[in-house]
Amino acid sequence: MRPLTLLNAKQLDLTLNRLALQLIEVHGDFKDTAIIGIQRTGALFSNALIAKIQQLRPGLEPVQGLLDVTFFRDDFGRRRKPLQAFSTELDFPVEGKKIVLVDDVLYTGRTIRAAMDALISLGRPETVELMVLIDRRFSRQLPIEPTYTGKRVDSIDSQHVAVKWDEKGFKEAILFDKTLDA
């Protein structure tokens, strides 16, 4: 199968617009809210999301954080590839905050489980919501569902979803067979 484009740059802009407006609708002035991108690609998505919010509502400055979940994963010693860690950058207390966790692709739910543990090890947020750009539905291994979703796709285990970013921002989201990748 040829790689299938799930979202191109134009489509993403529309989707991002909707997601940003949904967040503004719920969180208003973002006074007690923090948007936390999961390292690595979720962090890139959170950058684009915050830029979009500021484009729609100039003057709004949502608090942003980056979260690395490497040490909270449940597959230590069970992966083929060595782990790679990135920095956690949260220069605010999560205690009492309304947290929006942001990731690009939701698949088995294990990363989000690790992210919630990593987050709660830093304090007790008031609420935690989840926003994902692509939801690979019917693939969950844990009972985790997104609060805000960009696009739902049907996929099977032998496929991979990649969201690609270049230095200017978003490029595309594609679905392809892992065998092609190898």
Partner 1 sequence: MKNLKAEHLLGIRDLAAEDIGIILEWADHFKEIINRPIKKVPTLRDITIANVFFENSTRTRLSFELAQKRLSADVINFSAASSSVKKGETLIDTVNNILAMKVDMVVMRHPEPGAARFLAEHVKSKVINAGDGTHEHPTQALLDAFSLQEKLGDLAGKKIAIVGDITHSRVAISNIHCLIKLGAKVKVCGPTTLIPKHMKSMGVEVSHDLDETLAWCDAVNMLRIQLERQADAFFPSLRDYILRFQLNSERLSMLDKELVILHPGPINRGVEITTEVADSKQSVILDQVENGVAVRMAVIFLLAQQMNRN
Q: Given the complex with partner 1, which of 11 and 70 has the nearer CB atom?
A: 70
Q: How far is CA 36 from CA 61, 68, 88, 167, 175, in A?
A: 14, 10, 10, 20, 25
Stretch that binds partner 1, among 17-25, 57-65, 75-83, 168-176 (CB under 8 A): 75-83
Number of residues that bind partner 1 (CB under 8 A): 18
Tokens of 126: 């008031």
Stretch that binds partner 1, among 12-20, 72-80, 145-153, 167-175 (CB under 8 A): 72-80
Ranges within 81-120 binding partner 1 (CB under 8 A) = 82-85, 87-88, 117
Q: How far is CA 17 from CA 2, 39, 51, in A?
A: 29, 22, 10
Alpha carbon distance 64, 100 (integer Å): 10
Q: Does 169 bind partner 1 (CB under 8 A)?
A: no
Residue 85 has φ and ψ, to the nearest 5°, of -105, 150
Residues making contact with partner 1 (CB under 8 A) = 68, 70-73, 76-78, 82-85, 87-88, 117, 121-123
